[in-house]
Amino acid sequence: MNNSSKTIIIGIGHEYRCDDRVGLVVIRNLQKYNIPDVTITEASGEGTQLMQLWENYNRVILIDAAYSGKTVGEIYRFNYDDLYKFKKWFACSSHTFSLPQALELAKQLDQLPPDLTIFGIESNNFNNGTTLSEPVEAAAEIVTHLILNEFTPKKRAVV
């Protein structure tokens, strides 16, 4: 199926590593709303899976925890060109091939989504557990509404 006119929003995260689940939390927030013509899905962050998920979509939004040592809860919004400077912030993964590598490989193979936005949420607790740090939880709410505003700026139906 060619989804070139459609959007996919991918929340990247790990369920049991505290702040590393923030991408999943944003996705679950978004799924409470009825956003037409938008695919909303979760991913572990394995790079080849990400490339398969965003294939043929025109607009791609990614959300992931970031670690740069700055203020926890800070929200970053990147496109591909910005990410090259900040790719180490998304390198906190045990995956063999994760988000930064996927983006670089996609660029090399001319498979980068035409319209790409990456939201990073500054995190610092990647221990075992399911609790988000308070600033990270607050940031997740903000990112949820930033994304919602893009698609449904007026009325939104809660399902």
* Among the residue ranges 3-11, 46-54, 77-85, 141-149, the one whose residues contact other proteins (CB under 8 A): 46-54
- Least Å distance, CB 150 to other proteins, is 28
Q: Answer for the pair 57, 8: CB distance below 8 angstroms, yes or no.
A: yes
- Give the x/- contact pattern for other proteins in 85-104, rule: CB under 8 A: ---------xxxx---x--x
Per DSSP, the three-state class of 56 is coil
Among 108, 130, 153, 155, binds other proteins (CB under 8 A): 108
Whether 62 and 118 have beta carbons less than 8 Å apart is answered as: yes
The β-bridge partners of 118 are 62, 78
- Rounded to a whole number of angstroms, the minimum distance from the CB of residue 115 to other proteins is 21
| Whole-Å CA distances, 95 to 42, 67, 98, 101 | 16, 16, 6, 10
Q: Binding residues for other proteins, per CB under 8 A?
A: 44, 46, 48-49, 51-52, 94-97, 101, 104-105, 108-109, 128
